[in-house]
């Protein structure tokens, strides 16, 4: 079960939190075995990956569309001769 910290939103499964020697809170992702000062760092990386994936799909669609348009233009010019 996800752990809560002072009534805040529970941490995801496999996450925990700790305190450094100065008492500052840091987050531990036991699955990836990484620590984060800010819990949102992981979510920000996921968001960036998702946005870049969407951009790649759009670029691939645009490429396919332009490639098909060029192919049909080439076919049209050849058939007119």
The residues spanned by each domain of the chain are: 1-37, 40-81
CATH of 1-37, one of 3.30.2130.10, 3.30.720.200, 2.30.30.40, 2.20.70.10: 2.20.70.10
CA distances from 9 to 3, 34, 43, 80 (A): 9, 20, 14, 67
What's the pLDDT score for residue 54?
A: 92
Q: What's this model's pTM, rounded to 2 decimal places? A: 0.43
pLDDT, tens digit, 9 for 90 and up, residues 23-36: 888 888 898 888 87
Overall average pLDDT of the 68-73 stretch: 90
- Spatial strand order of the sheet with 25-29 comes to 15-19, 25-29, 34-36
Q: Mind listing the pLDDT tens digit for each residue in 4-20?
A: 555 566 777 888 888 98
**Which residues make beta-bridge pairs with 17?**
27
């Amino acid at each position: 079960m996800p752990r809560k910290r002072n009534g805040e939103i529970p941490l995801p499964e496999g996450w925990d939190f700790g305190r450094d020697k100065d008492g500052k809170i840091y987050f531990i992702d036991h699955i990836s075995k990484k620590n984060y000062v800010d819990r949102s760092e992981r979510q920000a990386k996921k968001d960036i990956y998702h946005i870049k994936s969407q951009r790649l799909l759009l670029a691939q669609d645009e490429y396919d569309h332009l490639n098909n348009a060029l192919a049909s233009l080439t076919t049209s010019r050849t058939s007119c001769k």
